[in-house]
Structure 1
């Protein structure tokens, strides 16, 4: 039987080159979802091409961003200088937070999450099909509480609601895939409890997650994708990070050379053959 898989290209609107590569793959049917970084300055301009994609064929979601670029409003606790903190700094702030400090941080996070949702919807003209987080920050304990509160208020139960990305996976599947298992295990540990909290709040999620790749380019894009499709879960989601490299990307993100390599492989006949051999069909939601 065919295996439905969501193949989601993260980081749309990060830069012009990244967005152009993602859009090309979406038009070719080589990805089935993309997550938008709505706080990046190019998003309003880059929203129009996404609206040209067939509704229901490519999922368009919010790739909530708390670690790259500037926030959309004041964040005196986490971004006092007007720049979002790197992932390590964010982890140092949110993981040990408790009491009044935790409550203040949740309020600040909730306000920024709401602003990013507003900006997404204003440019896209619709609510996001899904919500996830750049560098999986949406699943962190303090962040998830703020996120779920905002989403529950904004999209009441009984109506249309975005689904959420669960970035965790079982240890057996992670070790069997054998690519960036260390990263996958760390993310799974930091995400402990996220699925339970999201389900309790009434949100749907994927079941099965893969696509972690090394920061260096020694592992080929073909191997990363081949291993990502090994032992898929019942509602599997694979993340990818294709795009054209440009100077804006080099200034923002360590993953530069891997993006054009992923773009080339996803556009290739070899990837089409891989999907056919694994009997995978790409779907816009899990």
Structure 2
């Protein structure tokens, strides 16, 4: 007699640890409660000092296994760690739209991307005393043309055991066709996966978590859609946290972070996981 199917193990990853104290606190609270099993760290963020690193390590140690990765950051309003990175807008990276266009027009230097990512990996290793478990990208920058070549070269050289995040959705075709932006991410992810495979770098089999951040979300309904059909080791991206002045000055994602945090910390979330035979452990 066959038993019940084992639960699917997925990654629920909170992006942007290091962007602000309020976001950091929200992420740590969810890790401590077992409501997240991954977070990615912005080493160029303004809230990633020693105390914030130690607090994250403490939260992860007391929870079920929590992966800690690098949130590679190459877009404004953040600044590079390397001195000669180009192109820049003043002393900041380009905005993500300009960065994407520059890559599409072959106006980036993959070697500069590689050097900057190598520096961010080194900064992570110095902060945490080890290399990142995985590496993803702020605003999906790792997928951009020319960026991906430099990104993957740095991972292969400096963190070869880390897996990297692609952003192809595991949704029916009808849902994919409804969003031109998401279709572009699917196309870029397919190209990214081919490059990663050629480099022998592991990546997640599927991705979910993106939605229209300009509207107040029903995050419970969104999470139901995100987990449906997501395979073993699939990744759901999220952005929980608390709004503070630092976040408001740096990022347009504000109130939705508190909505996400409220849902993930509530009792509907573990029920949704159980009903879908999904686990974060």
TM-score w.r.t. the length of structure 1 is 0.89
The corresponding residue for 2:110 is 106
- The 1-side partners of 2:23 and 2:125 are apart by 21
Count the aligned residue pairs. 272
The corresponding residue for 2:79 is 70
- 37, 40, 48: which is aligned to 2:45? 40
- The 2-side partners of 1:224 and 1:18 are apart by 21
- The 2-side partners of 1:142 and 1:88 are apart by 14
Structure 2 counterparts to residues 23-34 of structure 1, below 5 A: 23-34=28-39
Q: Helix, strand or coil: the match of 1:192?
A: helix
- The 2-side partners of 1:76 and 1:211 are apart by 31
Q: Helix, strand or coil: the match of 2:190?
A: coil
Indicate how the Cα distance of structure 1 residues 3 and 84 shifts in structure 2: closer, same or farther if over 3 A, else same.
same
Q: CA shift at 1:90, angstroms?
A: 0.6
Alignment of 1:221 with 2:219, yes or no, is: yes
Q: Helix, strand or coil: the match of 1:43?
A: coil
The corresponding residue for 1:130 is 134
Q: CA shift at 1:195, angstroms?
A: 0.9
Indicate how the Cα distance of structure 1 residues 182 and 265 shifts in structure 2: closer, same or farther if over 3 A, else same.
farther
2:100–2:145 Cα contact (<8 Å) kept: no
Q: CA shift at 1:74, angstroms?
A: 2.4
Structure 2 counterparts to residues 74-93 of structure 1, below 5 A: 74-79=83-88, 81-93=90-102
Alignment of 1:164 with 2:168, yes or no, is: no
1:221–1:258 Cα contact (<8 Å) kept: no
The corresponding residue for 1:254 is 252
Indicate how the Cα distance of structure 1 residues 106 and 232 shifts in structure 2: closer, same or farther if over 3 A, else same.
same
- The 1-side partners of 2:258 and 2:197 are apart by 36
Indicate how the Cα distance of structure 1 residues 224 and 171 shifts in structure 2: closer, same or farther if over 3 A, else same.
closer
The corresponding residue for 1:94 is 103
- The 2-side partners of 1:152 and 1:190 are apart by 20
Alignment of 1:230 with 2:228, yes or no, is: yes
Q: CA shift at 1:170, angstroms?
A: 5.0
2:220–2:263 Cα contact (<8 Å) kept: yes
TM-score w.r.t. the length of structure 2 is 0.90
2:170–2:208 Cα contact (<8 Å) kept: no
Give per-residue Cα distances to partners, 1:50-78, cap 9 Å, x unaligned.
Answer: 22222870000001011131111224522
The corresponding residue for 2:276 is 278
Q: Helix, strand or coil: the match of 2:122?
A: helix
- The 1-side partners of 2:202 and 2:168 are apart by 15
- The 2-side partners of 1:173 and 1:254 are apart by 29
Q: CA shift at 1:144, angstroms?
A: 1.1
- The 1-side partners of 2:200 and 2:125 are apart by 22
- The 1-side partners of 2:82 and 2:198 are apart by 30
Q: CA shift at 1:80, angstroms?
A: 5.0
- The 2-side partners of 1:281 and 1:171 are apart by 20
Of 123-132 and 246-255, deviating more is: 246-255
* RMSD over equivalenced CA pairs, Å: 2.0
The corresponding residue for 1:188 is 186
